[in-house]
Structure 1
């Protein structure tokens, strides 16, 4: 892979943008790219690198869009249109036709490269600090909102926000948000979390405390559906006691939910 492609990958990762890596694994007859050639396709369909001429690019864009949507790698074969008599070749490889006059055939392996999931923490409690230590080891990006004097403790976070105005953190539906304030501005942080787009919001607190806060959140106008979807107490019931153990239970719940969703997407992709 050329330095230009490595630089492109680094830029896409830094921007939090998913992309697809295409690798030529086999060719037949005359083709402009040979086995081992690589290219990158971004979500806009822009191709960086060379795995074949214009005859391959249409199939590459279609295949890349499909793997980015499903999150599952696949092998595709591009051959002259007159030699394509169905969607799948005799060996089970997905077929795409081309109008290329050279008559060449190219097998491309397409790998989706999504961005790492992000954990957003509210608070600087011992449990929040334990989560900030453990989450990056499991491949999660980290963002933190806490009192300004506490932010220095989160040196591994890619984004840090003083206070609980979560707008600058650009929270997305795919983010996992955990409120671990533990008595320090709980209501403020929880309201901000539930009013954010985060698909998963968990609260480190007892059921009794959560019920009391929920009544105050309703009075503030927080949507009932968001309150009902709040996971509290946060984490799986591992009989955890120490902050690190509680952090483990919270991340275990997040991994369970994330992987269950991924299996559902893979199942849908296979039956589509």
Structure 2
């Protein structure tokens, strides 16, 4: 386990598994820990093979939803006797030992990546606030950074100064300095949400210009502008707050939809 954690790439999610309680005879012992990788491999000790299927299935759910999972396994012939509980899923077990095991699974996921472009007070405030909220907030390169921001075209990797960067959210707060080239790179990236700090008039202007430049409808749908929730924000800090509130809202709605699509009831087979 320690070797896996030490060599973790910081990008691929995994699940930390802990045996909470054991009733009757079972190979698992309270306090036993293991890691379940995104590929379903188990690293560590959680007892015999009877528990593995349920743990891997619950681990995949934890990774997909981003939510911890609390499960238990009971003998198949006792499954109907176990009372349903909202916060715990019950899986049948065919173990000859007939033990019952409760397991807690905690997903370890990389921080959502927020890339902010612009050499403004607002841009720097967004990075600071973003990091405080648990994002991996990256400040994009400026013209004076010696990167590719001064060229006619570039990709998101060169613009942000990080290789293989996959942004979850981008905020373009360039405020008139290389708006077009930054918007084009952001919208052509794999990032699904691109926030542009601009007035309604300016946002519409750039929508027209980007459309004329060949930006596809699918790429244009990523653009969110004016950026931020309408809270009558005035100062750079208030505007940053409104934008991050909108980003958090989108992030949490996606997680909620993922949970609902997978159901929230106990699995009883």
TM-score (norm 1): 0.83
Structure 1 residue 166 and structure 2 residue 137: aligned? no
Cα distance between partner residues in 1 of 2:163 and 2:214 = 23
- Equivalent pair of 1:171/1:198 in contact (CA under 8 Å): no
- For 2:221 and 2:104, the matched residues in 1 are separated by 43
CA contact (8 A) 1:143 1:169 kept: no
- Look up the SS of the partner of 2:25 in the other structure: coil
Change in 2 beyond 3 A, CA 1:33/1:85: closer
Partners of 2:180 and 2:206 within 8 A in 1: yes
- TM-fit CA distance, 1:207: 1.8
The verdict on how the C-alpha distance between 1:77 and 1:271 changes in structure 2, with shifts beyond 3 A counting, is: closer
CA–CA distance in structure 1, aligned partners of residues 242 and 235 of structure 2: 11
Alignment RMSD: 2.5
Gap runs ≥5 in structure 2: none
* Deviating more after overlay: 217-226 vs 66-75: 66-75
Higher relative contact order (CA 8 A, sep 6+): 2
In structure 2, distance between residues paired with 1:10 and 1:260 = 32
Q: Quick one: distance in 1 between partners of 2:100 and 2:165?
A: 44
Matches within 5 A, 1:39-188: 39-81=34-76, 83-86=77-80, 89-92=82-85, 93-147=88-142, 149-150=144-145, 162-163=148-149, 164-167=154-157, 169-172=163-166, 175-188=168-181
1:22 is aligned to 2:12? no
Q: CA deviation at 1:84?
A: 4.4
Post-superposition, which runs of at least 4 consecutive aligned residues in structure 1 deviate over 4 A? none
Listed as ranges, the gaps of 5+ residues in structure 1 are 152-160
Could you say what secondary structure the match of 1:41 adopts?
Answer: strand
**Residues 102, 37 of structure 1: alpha-carbon distance in 2 compared, 3 angstrom cutoff:** same
- Determine whether 1:219 maps to 2:212: yes
Q: Which residue of 2 aligns with 1:256?
A: 249
Post-superposition offset of 1:180: 1.0
User: What is the aligned length?
Assistant: 255
Cα contact 1:24–1:109 (8 A) shared by 2:
yes
CA distance in 2, matches of 1:233, 1:220: 21
1:209 paired residue among 202, 208, 222: 202
Partner SS, residue 240 of structure 1: coil
Shift of 1:226: 2.9
